[in-house]
Structure 1
Amino acid sequence: MHKSWLLPIIVAGIAAIGVAMLGTTITDLGPWYQSLEKPGWTPADPVFGIAWTLIFALAAVAGVSAWRAAPSTRVSDTIIGLFALNGFLNILWSLIFFRMQRPDWAFAELLLLWLSVGALIIFCGRYSRLAALALLPYLGWVSIAGALNWQVIELNGPFG
C-alpha cells in the first residue's frame, strides 16, 4: 500500500469508529425503547449493528477516496467538514431519540441527517465516483430509519 494512503485510512477509520462508539454508547435499547410499539417490518435488533458497521466502513472508504481525489486543500477541507457535520448529526439523532426519548424531534433532526448524506454524495461524487457509490447504502439506511422513526411517532405519540 502506498504511504500517502496510510494516514487518511487511519484517520478515516478512527473517525468512523469514534462516531460508531459514541452512537452505540448513547443508544439505549432498554425498557423505554422496548415498550414502544413498532411496525411489523422493524428489522431485528442485530441487523442495526451489522448495517451500521457496514455503513461506517463504506463511509470511511468514501471519505478517503474523495479526500485523495480532491484537487485542492479547500476541497479536501470541505470534504472533512461535511463528514464531521454528518457524524455530529448521526450522534445527535441517537441522543434525541434514545436519551431525550423524543422520536418526534429526532425525526426532524433525521431530515437534516438525510440531507447531509445527500450533500456528501453530491459533493464527494464530483471528485470520486467510488465515494458517491459507497455512500448510497448510507442514504438508503437513513431513509429506512426515517420511515421507521415516523411509524414510531404515529404508533406511540404524542411525546414530551
Structure 2
Amino acid sequence: MNILLAVVPILGASVLGQLATYPSIAGWYAELAKPPFNPPNWVFAPVWTALYVLMAYAAWRLLQAHRDTPGRSLALALFFAQLALNALWSWLFFALHSPLAALLNIVPQWLLILATIERARLVDKVAAACLVPLALWVGFAAVLNFSIWYLNG
C-alpha cells in the first residue's frame, strides 16, 4: 500500500505537468527569449523522469518509517506540499503563459524542498539524499525561470 501512496501522487503530478506543458512547447515557449544556459528541450523529460523516480523512492522510504517516528508526519506533509507546487508550476508557466506567476511559485517550492530534505534527514537519511538532486534542479530552474521572466518582461 505504501508503494501506491508514494507512486500515484508522483505519477499524477507528472501527468498534470505534461498536460500543461506540451501544448505550449512548439508555440509560446519556442518564441520566448531564453538565457544562453537554457537547456535544450530534450533534456527536461529524462531529468524529470529521474527526479520523479527519486522522489517516489524517497516518499516510499518515509512512508515505510513507523507512524510514531518523530518527524515522519511533517516530512511527508512537506514532501506532498512541494509536490503540489511542482504540479502547479507547469500550469502557471506553460498553460497560463506566466513566467512571473511561475516564479512566485518556484521560490516557495524550492524552500519547501529544502525543508523536506532537512526533516526527512531526521527520519531516513537515504530519503533525504534522494531529494538533493531535486533541490539542485529546482534551484537551477528558479534561476532559469527568473531569467526568462526578466528577458521577456
Identify whether the pair has TM-score above 0.5, normalized to the shorter chain: yes
| Number of aligned positions between the proteins | 151
Unaligned runs of 5+ in 1: 1-6
Identity of aligned residues (%): 32
User: Over aligned residue pairs, what C-alpha RMSD do you find?
Assistant: 1.7
The answer as to whether partners of 2:89 and 2:105 remain within 8 angstroms in 1 is yes
The answer as to whether partners of 2:93 and 2:99 remain within 8 angstroms in 1 is yes
Tell me, in whole angstroms, the C-alpha distance in 1 between the residues paired with 2:62 and 2:145: 30
Q: How does 1:10-159 map to 2 (within 5 A)?
A: 10-27=4-21, 28-70=24-66, 72=68, 75-157=71-153
SS of 1:29's equivalent?
Answer: helix
Q: Tell me the TM-score normalized by structure 2.
A: 0.91
After superposition, give the CA deviation of every residue in 1:107-149 in whole Å (9 maximum; x if it has no partner).
Answer: 1211011011111101111111101110000000001101111
Tell me, in whole angstroms, the C-alpha distance in 2 between the residues paired with 1:87 and 1:136: 14
Cα deviation, residue 80, structure 1: 3.2
The answer as to whether partners of 1:63 and 1:79 remain within 8 angstroms in 2 is no
